[in-house]
Structure 1
């Protein structure tokens, strides 16, 4: 097995020896740069190659968890790698990574989750119903682990039943039986003069010969019972060359479901190795040049996938994700507002970089544009019909004050700190203070005043969750993260030094009084106040810009947002 890292440089001769096709790298002089992320297998070289995402790279010297890119280039040369715990992350992450590519392939086929022009960035020579070499390897191993006791039992039972003219005295004296659930003895080896041919033995021989070949080639550390006959060496190469023909001769012998599935696996394997087969491939691969699209979908499935089909008043969430100006929002979900019991859309953008990297000014500007588009979308709906927002409970603008609800935004980055941790999301803020944008810095309840928190999430957790999480686990994650994101925003606004605002509530509770206060002081209060769902008039006063004392007499300080 070889591991290459996206964006890393390798000698061009090395890459030419690995790949039959240069589409996975670009040449620059005597070096080549890996531009794809994915899986590759050459049948002629019988070699598995992974091109892992650059997020695995922990620094600028092309090292991954203390291992140089050259060490990862030829893992088979490392002694006892299959037993060495420091390389366990390779075995785990490689499998989850491959499954994530399969999941992405399935999702873009089923739902067209990305732009049509971007769909074809996923490159493969495998049809929808075809197995890759790695698929076969995993299928053989999983089938064996799941059925090995049943297969062995049937194998021994069949041998016992087929024995003719047994010499029981010698059998009992020379061997030990296996006891059934009814305490009946079954002898693995029966002493007799004449033995019949086991018609099932031929299929078992093929299956376990293939499994043992996988075992030796990829250090799988499988323990195969010695009672099975194994074909090895040159004899196995000959079997690969004409195995499909031999297999077809015994096709109609098997009626047991387990044996039929075993036959199907052998048939797929020999179809790819049989020299007479027209379906034989020189290589198989599954790769993507824009891995940011895969990362985006992994995060979206975790955060907001259940909303993809939500439709209210003939408007779906897809209408919110795909803006009229052509921009597509990565992640969007509705959750509790920061200042009342209404809901508001939380808008996120996933950032695919090396670990510990951060978004630039262009990304920040784009995020503010996304937020403004969502605000405008909801306002347009209200303008069409004031009684029909996108969804009941969603509230963006207060008609009395003409103030806008606060729209929470976030960036989320993938990172890896512990190569063995696949089970904790480890979400944390990259910085205490969010990125902010405003037209008037003293107007919090203004559509142009926006804040973006930045978070990082354990990439290995995302990788595993993408294919392994069920609906219950995913929902539990969403509830926890949404609650935490809201709390982080509220904690920020409760710190007047950080957010630069203090919050006040009108002493009066009458809408008529609110209307009088707002209309009489509209210029002073424009963009600074908002009537929430609890019919409270909230004032956000900037700590540097005062408001007339006569107005402030109508309000009392809110010590803490809840």
Structure 2
């Protein structure tokens, strides 16, 4: 098996030896850059290739495994590099990674979540109900692991039943038993005068020979102690060519579910070598040239599984994701406001970079544009006849004309532990990004803050193909609460946010008069909550309202 990393350069000679088609890389002199992410198998040279996302690469020459991309190239299952790192993770990673591409293809076909132009970048020659070589390989190995004890026991039982006059003295002296149960020895090959032929042996011999070959060819680290004879070398090559014919001759011998499944797996494997099939492929592959779209869909599925069906107070999430100016928001969901008990839309952007990278200026400006579009969408609804439909989502207060704080976030994929698939490990990353027209106005539509987070890419990869809805729901609950708590902690710390929050202390009946009398001073600095509580945010360098605040407000902590 060969592991390449998207966006990295390799010797052209190497890539030409792995791929029969140059569509997976871009040539630059004697080197070439891998341009795709995905899976590839060539039937002619029997080479299996994974093109992993660039998140597996750190800045510089090292991968997330602390080895270079070149050391990672010719990596077989279960081997180690320089005897320092055990790579038992490779098979698990390949399964999750391959399944994630299948899930993306399924979501491309079954939903409108992904725009058509992105879907066209997913390349494959696998039809909807076709099996890839990797599908067959994994099915055979999983079947073997699940049923090997049953097959072994059945063989021993059948053999023992037809033995005549077992010579136990010679059997004990010349063979080693296996121990089952509580210390019970079982001899697999008792020595006797006469043995009847096991009619099931032929099929199981074929199956065990396939397992033995795959174990050896791809270093699958399977503990393999076969009872049946194994066909190897040139004889196995001949078996592959004539396997379908041999299977056809023994097709009606088997009735148990295990043996029927074994027969079908052997048939699938041998069908790859059938020269009579004119439609036989030279290769199978599943790849995409813009993996950021897949990563966005992974994160989106974590936060909102059915975006087209989600509505908040009559507002379709799909409407909010697809802006009138053509821009598409990566992630958006409704959750508790930072200021009161109303809801607000949290707006996120997936950042598909190498594990240690951060967003640049362009990404920051795009995020601010997304937020302003969502704010304007809600204000348009407020100004229309649909005002009652956005009762819970509250962006603007009509008394103060202040705007609710609109939370934004970037989310990056990263890998720290190659074996960690079960912990999202969401952590804050970098500094809080701020945009404003007036630096002393928190409740202004142009004052925006973006928090940055990193999330364990391997957790996202596994969760994307998981159908355990309870786990996904729990993740959403914890992640959304975490994002809100971190924003509140940020605004409760004046040294970090630059603002101190105060609460009006004279009672609700005096709020309207107070705001009207001091509107010029309070513009963009105060907000009336849905609980009729007037709050004011005082910027650290703003001296213009010091006396007004000292006389009328008291400190408030957000919660």
Same fold (TM over 0.5): yes
1:169: how far off? 4.9
Q: How many residues align?
A: 556
Report the 3-state secondary structure (helix = DSSP H, G, I; strand = E; otherwise coil) of the residue aligned with 2:114: coil
Q: Deviations over 1:425-483 (max 9, x none)?
A: 33222224x11111222221111111101112222222233224722222222222222
Aligned partner of 1:520 in structure 2 is: 517
Q: Deviations over 1:472-512 (max 9, x none)?
A: 222222222222211211121112232222222112332x4
Inter-partner Cα distance in structure 1 for 2:542 and 2:243:
84
Aligned partner of 2:396 in structure 1 is: 397
For the 8 Å contact 1:541–1:547, the answer to whether it is kept is no
Aligned partner of 1:237 in structure 2 is: 237
Report which stretch shifted further, 438-447 or 137-146.
Answer: 438-447
Aligned partner of 2:75 in structure 1 is: 75
For the 8 Å contact 1:381–1:388, the answer to whether it is kept is no
Inter-partner Cα distance in structure 2 for 1:149 and 1:414:
41
Inter-CA distance 62–140: structure 2 relative to 1 (3 Å threshold): same
Inter-partner Cα distance in structure 2 for 1:341 and 1:77:
53
Q: Deviations over 1:491-535 (max 9, x none)?
A: 21112232222222112332x422212222222222221111221
Aligned partner of 2:483 in structure 1 is: 485
Aligned partner of 1:94 in structure 2 is: 94
User: Which segments of 5 or more consecutive residues in structure 2 lack a partner in the other structure?
Assistant: none
Aligned partner of 2:435 in structure 1 is: 437
Aligned partner of 1:408 in structure 2 is: 407
1:312: how far off? 5.1
Report which stretch shifted further, 500-509 or 33-42.
Answer: 500-509
For the 8 Å contact 2:501–2:555, the answer to whether it is kept is yes
1:555 aligns with 2:552: yes
Aligned partner of 1:249 in structure 2 is: 249
Alignment of 1:162-311 (within 5 A): 163=162, 166-170=163-167, 174=171, 188-189=188-189, 195-305=195-305, 307-311=307-311
Aligned partner of 1:458 in structure 2 is: 456
Inter-partner Cα distance in structure 2 for 1:146 and 1:294:
32
Inter-partner Cα distance in structure 2 for 1:77 and 1:203:
27
Q: Deviations over 1:127-157 (max 9, x none)?
A: 1111111111111111111111122222222
1:37: how far off? 0.9
Report which stretch shifted further, 262-271 or 223-232.
Answer: 223-232
Inter-CA distance 20–169: structure 2 relative to 1 (3 Å threshold): closer
1:79: how far off? 6.6
1:88: how far off? 3.3
1:90: how far off? 3.4
1:332 aligns with 2:332: yes
**TM-score, normalised on structure 1?**
0.91
Q: Deviations over 1:222-273 (max 9, x none)?
A: 2334322321111111111121122122222222111121112111111112
Alignment of 1:309-388 (within 5 A): 309-311=309-311, 315-385=315-385, 388=388
Aligned partner of 2:114 in structure 1 is: 114
Inter-partner Cα distance in structure 1 for 2:412 and 2:501:
32
Report which stretch shifted further, 77-86 or 202-211.
Answer: 77-86
Aligned partner of 1:499 in structure 2 is: 497
For the 8 Å contact 1:300–1:331, the answer to whether it is kept is yes
Q: Deviations over 1:87-116 (max 9, x none)?
A: 234344333222222222222222232110
For the 8 Å contact 2:78–2:220, the answer to whether it is kept is no
Report the 3-state secondary structure (helix = DSSP H, G, I; strand = E; otherwise coil) of the residue aligned with 2:167: helix
Report the 3-state secondary structure (helix = DSSP H, G, I; strand = E; otherwise coil) of the residue aligned with 1:305: coil
**TM-score, normalised on structure 2?**
0.92
